[in-house]
Structure 1
Amino acid sequence: MTINQNRPVIIGVAGGTGSGKTTVAKEIFNQFNQSSIVLIEQDAYYKNQDHLAFEDRLKTNYDHPLAFDNELLYAHLRQLVDRTPIYKPAYDYAQHTRAKEVLEIEPKDVIILEGILILEDERLRSMMDIKVFVDTDADIRIMRRLLRDTKERGRTIESVIEQYTNVVRPMHLQFIEPTKRYADVIIPEGGENKVAIDLMATKIRTVIQQKQDSNI
C-alpha cells in the first residue's frame, strides 16, 4: 500500500464481546483533537435484515463473520482514504435490522475501526497501519455482556446466558480468538489498562509524524 501524506492513519481495535475494545477505542479517540479523528464501529455494518420476518431475524448469529456487510465497510474505508465522505449505517438492535437513519462521516486524519471481527477480513487488515487486540478473561467478558444486554438492549438474563453458551463462546473460539495472531499490539484488561492506551496514542502520533516526514 502506497503511503502518502494525505492518507489517513487507520487503527484496528479488535477483541471478544465484553473485552473492553470499545472502551479502548473511545479512550484513544478522546486523546486526539476530534476534528482530526473518527471512530467507525463494525457493529454499524451488520447486514440489513428488513426482508426477513422478525422471528427469522432473531435466529441471526451476530458473532459469525457472515453477519457483517464487510463489502460496504471496506468500500466506506476506501472512500475515507480517498478523502470522500460516507454515510455510515446504524443498526436497530430492538428490531434486529438496519435502521433507516444514516450518519454522514467526513474524512479525517485518523480512523479507528473497532469490532469483534475486523481482523478476520484480510481486506480490512491490509488497510490498517496498527492492529490491536484487546484480550480479557472470558469470565469478565460474559459479566460485561450480561450487564450491557440487559440494561441497554432489553434482554433477559436467561437469554443472554443461553446465547453466550450456544453461540458467543463457540464463535469466539472459532473466529475471534484466532485473529489475535494478526495483532501488532495486544492489550490485556481492556479499558482499565491506561498505560497501554497512552502508549497506543503515543504510537499513533509517531506513525502520523513518520508519514508526514516521508513527504517532506
Structure 2
Amino acid sequence: MNKKPIIIGVAGGSGSGKTTVANSIYCNFRDQDILMIEQDAYYKDQTHLPMEERLKTNYDHPLAFDNDLLLAHLERLMNRETIEKPIYDYANHTRATEVKQVEPRDVIILEGILILEDKRLRDMMDIKLYVDTDSDVRIIRRLIRDIKERGRSIDSVIDQYISVVRPMHLQFIEPTKRYADVIIPEGGQNQVAIDLMVTKIKTVLEEKSIL
C-alpha cells in the first residue's frame, strides 16, 4: 500500500521570501521524491473574457485563484496519480494552452500568497509555514524584481502596490498568519528557521515511514 505524501504549505506576502524558503526546503530533499506546486499556476482561466476585462484582474485577491482545480490536483497527487498542472500566461492574462505533466512524489511543497486562506487547502497540509517580512523590505524586493524581470516602471510598481497589493495583503494575506504552525521571520535569510523546518519535515517523513 502506497504511503500518502506529506504536504508542506509555504505562505507569505509578495516579496516576503516565501519562494526562497520553499526552494531552500526543496534543495534539502533533492535525494527524496519531492515536488513544488505554485499557487500562481492556478490563476483562473480567463480565455472567455475580452483583454480589457483581463487587464483588470486583481491577482492578490482570493477569487483570482481556481482553488477547486488545485484541490482536485492535490487529491490526485495524494492518491499517487499524475496531474496536468496548468501554466499561466501573464502576457495574455489567462491560462496557457500548454500544461505540465507532474508525477506524484513523497513530499509536496505548496507555495503561494493565499494558500492558507482556504480551509480546504489548510486541512490537506501536514505543516503550515508563514514567511513574515516587514512591508518596507517586501516593497523594495518587489520593485527590484518587477523592474528587472518584468520591465515595469517605478511609478507603475508603486501605484500597483499602494492601490492593490498593500490593501489585499492587509485584508487577506496577513490574517492567514494565525493558521500557520510556524512563522518564519525574514524569509530566506533565516537559515536557522529553515534548518529547523528541514529537521521537522524529516521527522514527519520518518513517522510516516517514507524516509
TM > 0.5? yes
Aligned counterpart in structure 2 of residue 90 of structure 1, from 83, 87, 92: 87
1:8 correspondence with 2:2: no
Please tell me the residue identity of whatever aligns with 2:53.
Answer: D
2:102 is matched with: 105
Partner residue in 2 for 1:120:
117
SS in 2 for 1:212: coil
Q: CA deviation at 1:6?
A: 0.7
Partners of 1:93 and 1:153 within 8 A in 2: no
Give 3-state SS (helix, strand or coil) of 1:13's partner: strand
Contact 1:94 1:153 (8 Å CA) reproduced:
no
Q: Which amino acid aligns with 2:12?
A: G
Count matched residues.
Answer: 210
Partners of 1:8 and 1:20 lie apart in 2 by 25
2:160 to 160, 163, 170: 163
Identify the residue that residue 195 of structure 2 maps to in structure 1: 198
Q: Closer, same or farther in 2 for the Cα pair 1:147/1:70, shift >3 Å?
A: same
Q: Does 1:24 align with 2:21?
A: yes
What are the residue-to-residue correspondences of 1:73-84 with 2, within 5 Å? 73-84=70-81
**What amino acid is aligned across from residue 23 of structure 2 in structure 1?**
K
RMSD value, Cα: 1.3
Quote the sequence identity (%).
71
Q: Give the drift of 1:34.
A: 5.4
Q: Which residue of 1 aligns with 2:150?
A: 153
* Alignment gaps of 5+ in structure 2: none
Given the alignment of the two structures, is residue 189 of structure 1 paired with residue 160 of structure 2, yes or no? Answer: no
Deviations along 1:106-145, whole A, 9 cap, x unmatched?
0000000000000000000000000000000000101111
Please, which runs of 5 or more residues in structure 1 have no aligned partner? none
Deviations 1:164-204 (A, max 9, x none): 10111000000000000000000000111111111111110
Question: What SS does structure 1 have at the residue aligned with 2:26?
Answer: helix
Does residue 48 (structure 1) correspond to residue 36 (structure 2)? The answer is: no
Query: 1:61/1:14 Cα in 2 relative to 1: closer, same or farther (>3 Å)?
Result: same
Residues in 1 aligned to 2:193 and 2:173: alpha-carbon distance in whole angstroms: 21
Conserved 8 A contact 1:19-1:141: yes
Deviation at 1:5, TM superposition (A): 6.2
- Write the distance in 2 (CA, Å) between the matches of 1:116 and 1:27: 17
Runs of 4+ in 1 over 6 A off after TM superposition: none
